[in-house]
Amino acid sequence: MLIDSIKRLLTREDARRDVSSAGVPQVDPLHLAACVLLLDIAHADGEFSDPEKQQIERVLAQHFSLSREAGHELLALAERERKGAVDHFQFTSQLNASYDLGQKMVLAEIMWGIALADGQIAEHEHYLTRKISNLLDLDPGYLSAAKDAATRKHG
């Protein structure tokens, strides 16, 4: 099992090198890490609904200043990364190294917004959002404030 995980990791690294050597613009690794986590939350309840996808697309445009086309490319790459990921640590560690508390709070609010996009927060979405927030070193009080802010925005 460990050997399979290492092989998947190396295969993904080789694929990244191939993409960058082909002249395709590099994807911001922080955008990719955040997008993978958002997709994982959207898929947590076993369904990736249209409202969740639309919410993620809005986030990519608003917070990452990506065009629609660039957002779709990032979503496709993030989906491949998400499916091959062994855990969340590889993504949260990148964000922890670069994001300050305010940026982490915004991300937590966005995560709750994704969970709320289809009208309800499923148990698995709730659990995963809390887990990722813990990996981002967010105190429960900050997480609660982010959830409240997302709830106010999504009515």
CATH of the domain at 77: 1.10.3680.10
Entry pTM: 0.82
Give the Cα separation of 123 and 58 in Å (integer). Answer: 24
The residue range of the domain holding 131 is: 25-154
Q: What percent of the chain shows pLDDT beyond 70? A: 83
Q: For the residues 67-96, what does the mean pLDDT come to?
A: 95
| Per-residue confidence (pLDDT) for residue 140, from 0 to 100 | 87
Q: For the residues 122-126, what does the mean pLDDT come to?
A: 92
Residue 49 lies inside a defined structural domain of this protein: yes
Residue-wise pLDDT for 45-67, tens only, equals: 999 999 999 999 999 999 999 99
Q: Which is nearest to 39 in space by CA: 90, 14, 15, 74?
A: 74
Residue 34 lies inside a defined structural domain of this protein: yes
Residue 14 lies inside a defined structural domain of this protein: no
Residue 16 lies inside a defined structural domain of this protein: no
Chain Cα centroid distance, residue 147: 16
Mean pLDDT for the chain?
85
Residue 119 lies inside a defined structural domain of this protein: yes
Q: For the residues 28-32, what does the mean pLDDT come to?
A: 96
Inter-residue contact 94 to 29 (CB < 8 Å)? yes
pLDDT above 80 (res 10): no
47-51, 55-59, 96-100, 143-147: least confident range? 143-147
| Per-residue confidence (pLDDT) for residue 127, from 0 to 100 | 94
The domain total for the chain is 1
Inter-residue contact 75 to 90 (CB < 8 Å)? no
Residue 15 lies inside a defined structural domain of this protein: no
Give the Cα separation of 48 and 16 in Å (integer). Answer: 25
